[in-house]
Amino acid sequence: MQRTFTLHEDAWLRDGPVFVGGPTIAYRVGGLPSGKTARIANFGAPNRDDWRIMWVNADNTQTDWSGHYSSVEEALAALQIE
């Protein structure tokens, strides 16, 4: 069964005192199997795209950041394959 994952912005680049003013650089992924969470973040921002994935397990342990994707959509597609 193909799950529908959703992206929830949770980190932004900013210029000055405005908190949510710049481009989104990290997302929390919703719709994962029970007890799992994932984050997708751009490690190349703001000059290049280097999106990576981190899994967070139900016991709050985390994997290392993995992958090198050219867009958040590409990283999300890789999650759907896993």
Domain ranges for the chain: 6-81
Q: How confident is the model at residue 60 (pLDDT cuts 50, 70, 90)?
A: confident
- Position 41 pLDDT exceeds 70: yes
pLDDT at 18: 62
Other CB atoms within a 10 A radius of the CB of residue 49 amount to 16
pTM exceeds 0.75: yes
* Average pLDDT of every residue of the chain: 88
Assess whether pLDDT exceeds 60 at residue 68: yes
Identify which has the larger pLDDT, 34 or 31.
31
Give the strand pairing for 51-56 and 24-30: unpaired
What span, in angstroms and rounded, lies between the C-alpha atoms of 39 and 37? 7
Task: Give, for 56, the enclosing helix (H) or strand (E).
Answer: strand 51-56
In the chain, alpha helices (H): 72-81
27: which 2 tokens?
């997302």
Name the token pair of 57.
Answer: 């397990």
